[in-house]
Amino acid sequence: MNKQTMPKKVYFIHEGGFGASAADVFVKGIKKIETEKEAYKRYDIDYYMPDCKYVSAFLKEHPEYVYVGSTDNMHERGLGYELDRYTLVQPPKL
């Protein structure tokens, strides 16, 4: 998928720090989120880690997106955060 065909709402899954997997969520063309509290309120996310190396690498490749938060990949199956509203993309290569 090239930059022109990337959908508005995307997420990717990568290994997390606790042996589980994390799903990082991004939206194209919205106002930048300034605080964790704002991210929770706007997107009902599980946690906010803008300093994650995967998040940073994705935003470097795709500056048109804004990071809105993360969840664990169990939620991919509709157990919490509604990732079915987003398109799964490949994580960045580190």
pLDDT tens digits along 59-85: 999 999 988 888 875 555 444 466 778
Residue 43 lies in a domain: yes
Residue 82 lies in a domain: yes
Q: pLDDT digit string (tens) for 10-51?
A: 999 887 655 567 888 898 877 777 666 776 666 667 777 888
Helix (H, G, I), strand (E, B) or coil at 26: strand
Domain residues for 28? 3-88
Residue 62 lies in a domain: yes
Give the chain's domain count. Answer: 1
Residue 58 lies in a domain: yes
Residue 94 lies in a domain: no
Burial label, 66 (beta-carbon count in 10 A; 0-12, 13-18, 19+): middle
pTM over 0.75: yes
